[in-house]
Amino acid sequence: MSVSATESTASTGYAESAIRVLKGLEPVRQRPGMYTRTDSPLHIVQEVIDNAADEALAGHARRIRVTRHADGSVSVEDDGRGIPHGLHPEEQAPVLELVFTRLHAGGKFDKGKGGAYSFSGGLHGVGVSVTNALASRLEVESHRDGHVARIAFADGEVAEPLTRRPLQPGERRQGTTVRVWPDARYFDSVELPMAELTHLLRSKAVLLPGVTVTLTDEKTRQTQSWQFKGGLRDYLQQTLAAEPLIPLFEGEGYAPAGDDSFAEGEGAAWVVAFTEDGPLLRESYVNLIPTPAGGTHDSGLREGLFQAVRSFIELHALLPKGVKLLPEDVFARASYVLSAKVLDPQFQGQIKERLNSRDALRLVASFVRPALELWLHQHVEHGKRLAELVIRTAQSRQKAAQKVEKRKSSGVAVLPGKLTDCESRDLARNELFLVEGDSAGGSAKMGRDKTFQAVLPLRGKILNTWEVEPQRLFANQEVHDIAVAIGVDPHRRGDAVDLSGLRYGKICILSDADVDGAHIQVLLLTLFFRHFPALIEAGHVFVARPPLYRVDVPARGKKPAGKFYALDDGELTAILDKCAQDGVPREKCQISRFKGLGEMSAEQLWDTTLNPDTRRLLPVTLGDGDAAATVRCFDQLMGKGEAAARRELLERYGDAVDVDV
């Protein structure tokens, strides 16, 4: 007996009334880990500190004071302009209230067109509102325009409405004070990690020369204060554990008005030390925000250092025969502090641990390389000492790679003719791209870095190998070529597998960003999951994500014309929305859709998909499900006898999928 759709949904409790809409700050309290770190309240306090630092960066504050109170609360005080406390012209609510209760409200969106901040760490507009959402109580005082405004919140809601009074004689005329009581329900521990907080505040003082940063701990009755007039250089010199091999290399560079590539004021300041031994110090910041996971600005520093040192070594003919330099040879013994200024930084995640802005690599490298080249030519003896260190590092790396190759060189099969191999034999560095089609393979061969990236073009769609016996695999030429190129024999889950013959640390599936490309991805994933499972378990298989769209955006305000790439329609919409915020209507943005990888130039393919510093590469894992669940899924999708199950799947979910065919 059949059951109607209405009866079915009613029985499961899934009806219109089951859809819940989260409002205000409720999404943050439901999933705090999506917005902040939940091991301690440090990050929600840092959001308040960052706002104070942004005032100093804009030149309006000279003092930041942080206090850990005896009751566990934390207050942050600055002498900046004070948060506006009048009514918002559109929302008709006090701005001071909106900033702390709306996820996307702030003064840092309109950059470069008369906004409140030209450069700031704020990006997402969810900063201090997250602090408020995860606090049992939060109090704000703003000194501005001859008045003091005060408002208090409890559990993210207004507890004491906004009040204003005239300034009293002797009161400071401007500035903001925020006091927050973190809610223990949302954190593993409500204790602030004082060592991390101290390091954060000290770094703010380093990056803001002349600004005084103070930390007071009422529990221990201790006060620390920092002011670094020498900036980055003083900080690195005081922190380095070993004596530098050559004098510190420091510099800065910022784009002038009218620059063709970057907005006025974008650039970086840096100081670099090379040591022969001892621990390294590596810290980077974007608009004063620490980026402990690095990002494209770190990659730009590495690229600039490498190009300059390689140029010096080649000019003076210092490189021994048979030695090939790589960026990591120059970077291996480098300690640095890097402070980048980026007009519209794109971070990975709300906690901003890594910078993703593609242009930041070119930005930093364009200033570092000429500065270091000039410095090395002015200090030739120092340059030669650095060259000796770099060459020794390269020789050690090559010797280590040769030892590994010698151990695994027995019985090597003849490599397929269409494989364009790489020069390196360093397994940890080498990458193989399995590319859809000869046309895309040609672009990949021209765009790749031939030192460590190999390309194997595949003609059309490979065989569905889900139900193919291992002894019949090599009857298919494409599968044969893949197996021989990889250097590992087919096997099944649970077999004792010898991976000593593996030739590449990363095996990357690179197909078009369309339906056919997705089908090829599935066929290759089927091959690896069924016949090379040890490669997936060991983390050697990846999926490259090329863009589907390119958006050419004209100049807007301080921002020069630029090119942006989108993986899908969602990212395209986000780019166009951001352009609209910057005053560029959709019709002025030129949108190009890539019909396939073959349409991309070698340079575009490198920038978006091959360059390790700017690409998006997804590791292939079993995910949350176990191996048995994955096998069942593949059975349903790839099994010859599962046509009925696939049809049922399509009938059930087909109307929910927007397919571009």
Structural domain contains residue 354:
yes
Structural domain contains residue 160:
yes
Closest CA to 154 of 170, 174, 140: 140
Please indicate, yes or no, whether residues 372 and 352 belong to a single structural domain of this protein: yes
Q: Flag residues of the chain having pLDDT under 70.
A: 1-24, 104-126, 349-352, 402-413, 623-626, 653-661
What SS3 state is found at 512?
Answer: coil
Structural domain contains residue 645:
no
Q: Indicate which CATH number applies to the domain containing 121.
A: 3.30.565.10
User: From the candidates 145, 259, 514, 571, which is the catalytic residue?
Assistant: 514
DSSP for residue 173: S
Q: Indicate which CATH number applies to the domain containing 461.
A: 3.40.50.670
Closest CA to 287 of 359, 338, 251, 225: 338
Among 489, 516, 542, the domain boundary falls at: 542
User: Is 287 marked as a binding-site residue?
Assistant: no
Dihedral over Cα of 554, 556, 560, 564: its sign: negative
Please indicate, yes or no, whether residues 98 and 142 belong to a single structural domain of this protein: yes
Structural domain contains residue 12:
no
Q: Give the E-state strand segments of 386-505 in sequence order.
A: 431-436, 453-458
Tell me the residue range of the domain where 250 lies.
233-403
User: Is 356 marked as a binding-site residue?
Assistant: no
Among 542, 563, 580, the domain boundary falls at: 542
* Cβ neighbours for 580, distance < 8 A, ≥ 6 positions apart: 586
What SS3 state is found at 596?
Answer: coil
Please indicate, yes or no, whether residues 238 and 222 belong to a single structural domain of this protein: no
What SS3 state is found at 238?
Answer: helix
Decide if 268 contacts 341 (C-beta within 8 A): yes
Please indicate, yes or no, whether residues 255 and 393 belong to a single structural domain of this protein: yes
Residue 6: its pLDDT value, please?
40
User: Is 487 marked as a binding-site residue?
Assistant: no
Among 205, 226, 247, the domain boundary falls at: 226
> Catalytic site residue 436?
yes
Please indicate, yes or no, whether residues 245 and 206 belong to a single structural domain of this protein: no
Please indicate, yes or no, whether residues 294 and 341 belong to a single structural domain of this protein: yes
Decide if 574 contacts 412 (C-beta within 8 A): no
Please indicate, yes or no, whether residues 190 and 137 belong to a single structural domain of this protein: yes
Secondary structure of 538-588 in the HEC alphabet? CCCEEEECCCCEEEEECCECCECCEEEEECCHHHHHHHHHHHHHCCCCHHH
Q: Does the pTM exceed 0.75?
A: no
416-474 pLDDT, tens per residue?
Answer: 888 999 988 888 899 999 998 878 888 899 999 999 999 999 887 788 888 888 878 88
Structural domain contains residue 601:
no
Structural domain contains residue 21:
no
User: From the candidates 47, 217, 421, 512, which is the catalytic residue?
Assistant: 512
User: Is 352 marked as a binding-site residue?
Assistant: yes
What SS3 state is found at 307?
Answer: helix
User: Is 128 marked as a binding-site residue?
Assistant: yes
User: Is 374 marked as a binding-site residue?
Assistant: no
Please indicate, yes or no, whether residues 317 and 339 belong to a single structural domain of this protein: yes
* Cβ neighbours for 525, distance < 8 A, ≥ 6 positions apart: 509, 541, 543, 620
Residue 659: its pLDDT value, please?
56
Please indicate, yes or no, whether residues 383 and 241 belong to a single structural domain of this protein: yes
Please indicate, yes or no, whether residues 214 and 239 belong to a single structural domain of this protein: no
User: Is 127 marked as a binding-site residue?
Assistant: yes
Structural domain count, the chain: 3
User: From the candidates 55, 421, 436, 481, which is the catalytic residue?
Assistant: 436
Give dist(CA 339, CA 304) in Å, integer: 15
Please indicate, yes or no, whether residues 239 and 188 belong to a single structural domain of this protein: no
User: Is 316 marked as a binding-site residue?
Assistant: no
User: Is 372 marked as a binding-site residue?
Assistant: no
> Catalytic site residue 514?
yes
Structural domain contains residue 613:
no
Dihedral over Cα of 603, 605, 607, 613: its sign: negative
* Cβ neighbours for 90, distance < 8 A, ≥ 6 positions apart: none
Q: How far apart are the first and last CA of the chain?
A: 38
Dihedral over Cα of 514, 545, 466, 633: its sign: negative
Structural domain contains residue 9:
no
User: Is 122 marked as a binding-site residue?
Assistant: yes
- The helix/strand count (H/E) of the chain reads as 19, 21
Q: Indicate which CATH number applies to the domain containing 342.
A: 3.30.230.10
> Catalytic site residue 426?
no
> Catalytic site residue 658?
no
Give the H/E segment covering residue 516: helix 515-531
